[in-house]
């Protein structure tokens, strides 16, 4: 595992631990096992119905098998990463997640792109191209990640507040725009990675433009970090 560092517009460095080949392989093994189980159940179901009603091994059934196999192979990762915000069951168990290269949650287009390119990463077999790409790239990014602008990181343990903030997508404070809310949410999700000085400076930079907009009290203006915390838990 290596650290991936990015710099915010306020020139504060934030580091993430990238998920290396071991994490990615373990997650893939779990997901592949689930795919095999799903495929087995579907084949068994189709075979049973075919035997009961005749026509087993006919061209329509072979075509159906090919379509189902393709959907399970490709659709599994795409659908689950969209629904679980950058995760699959395997990734969740290994505590890794797909995010954008700037550290923000992976968007729909990024997840779609990385899964389309998964077909190339798989070639010639068993993700050979993807593995080579991860070895060459210092951030362990396969071709799909490079094309989509994504990276897979190891999730750090967070306290209950940060865990909630990291998962929220809706604005809980009506005075804040989506962008303002996202900036504050990300600040709390990443504050453990910042030094006390950097955290204080960044909190002040984020809070200052919001004081008048949210009718901040003198006490709130004196403690920017507390002010930002309260913004996420009350409606003005």
Task: For residues 94 and 127, state if they share a domain.
Answer: yes
Task: For residues 83 and 182, state if they share a domain.
Answer: no
Please give the pLDDT value at position 152. 94
Does the residue 132 lie in any domain? Answer: yes
> Residue 213 contacts by C-beta under 8 Å, 6 or more apart in sequence?
175
Does the residue 18 lie in any domain? Answer: yes
Does the residue 236 lie in any domain? Answer: no
Domain boundaries, position 82: 3-154
pTM above 0.95, yes or no: no
Please give the pLDDT value at position 217. 83
Total H helices, total E strands in the chain: 13, 4
Task: For residues 100 and 144, state if they share a domain.
Answer: yes
Please give the pLDDT value at position 60. 67
Peptide bond into 124 cis (omega under 30): yes
Q: What CA dihedral angle connects 214, 220, 222 and 227, to 10 degrees?
A: -80
Q: Where are the alpha helices (DSSP H) in 54-191?
A: 59-70, 76-83, 89-94, 108-116, 118-122, 128-136, 143-148, 160-167, 178-190
Task: For residues 135 and 164, state if they share a domain.
Answer: no
Q: Which residues of the chain have pLDDT under 70?
A: 1-15, 46, 49-61, 156-175, 233-236
Task: For residues 88 and 121, state if they share a domain.
Answer: yes
Does the residue 49 lie in any domain? Answer: yes
Domain boundary, last residue among 129, 154, 179? 154
Distances (CA, A) of 164 to 19, 109, 146, 168: 22, 24, 29, 6
Q: How many domains does the chain have?
A: 2
Burial grade of 108 (CB within 10 A; 0-12, 13-18, 19 or more): exposed
Task: For residues 184 and 213, state if they share a domain.
Answer: yes
d(CA 139, CA 193): 19
For residue range 118-140, list pLDDT tens digits in order.
989 988 888 999 999 998 988 89
Task: For residues 12 and 93, state if they share a domain.
Answer: yes
Burial grade of 156 (CB within 10 A; 0-12, 13-18, 19 or more): middle
Please give the pLDDT value at position 78. 94
Task: For residues 65 and 114, state if they share a domain.
Answer: yes
Does the residue 205 lie in any domain? Answer: yes
Domain boundary, last residue among 154, 177, 194? 154
Task: For residues 101 and 121, state if they share a domain.
Answer: yes
Does the residue 195 lie in any domain? Answer: yes
d(CA 153, CA 99): 7
Please give the pLDDT value at position 82. 94
Task: For residues 74 and 145, state if they share a domain.
Answer: yes
Task: For residues 185 and 144, state if they share a domain.
Answer: no
Task: For residues 203 and 147, state if they share a domain.
Answer: no
For residue range 135-187, list pLDDT tens digits in order.
898 889 999 999 999 999 988 654 444 444 444 444 445 567 777 877 888 88
- Which residues are registered as beta bridge partners of 97? 153
Report the run of H or E that residue 100 belongs to, with start and end: strand 96-100
Length of the chain: 236
Please give the pLDDT value at position 3. 63
Domain boundary, last residue among 132, 154, 176? 154
């Amino acid at each position: 595992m290596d650290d991936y560092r990015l710099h915010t517009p306020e020139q504060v460095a934030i580091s993430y631990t990238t998920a290396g080949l071991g994490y990615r392989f373990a997650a893939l093994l779990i997901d592949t096992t689930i795919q095999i189980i799903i495929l087995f159940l579907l084949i068994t179901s189709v075979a049973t119905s075919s035997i009961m009603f005749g026509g087993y091994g006919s061209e329509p059934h072979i075509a159906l098998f090919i379509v189902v196999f393709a959907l399970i192979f490709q659709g599994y990762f795409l659908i689950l990463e969209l629904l679980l915000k950058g995760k699959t069951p395997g990734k969740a168990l290994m505590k890794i997640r797909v995010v954008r290269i700037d550290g923000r949650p992976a968007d729909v287009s990024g997840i779609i792109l990385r899964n389309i390119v998964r077909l190339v990463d798989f070639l010639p077999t068993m993700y050979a191209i993807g593995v080579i790409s991860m070895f060459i790239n210092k951030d362990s990014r396969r071709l799909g990640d490079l094309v989509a602008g994504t990276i897979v990181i190891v999730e750090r343990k967070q306290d209950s507040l940060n865990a909630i903030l990291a998962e929220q997508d809706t604005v809980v404070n009506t005075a804040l725009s989506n962008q303002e809310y996202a900036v504050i949410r990300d600040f709390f999700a990443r504050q453990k990675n910042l030094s006390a000085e950097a955290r204080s400076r960044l909190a002040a930079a984020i809070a200052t433009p919001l004081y008048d907009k949210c009718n901040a009290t003198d006490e709130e203006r004196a403690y920017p970090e507390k002010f930002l915390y309260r913004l996420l838990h009350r409606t003005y």
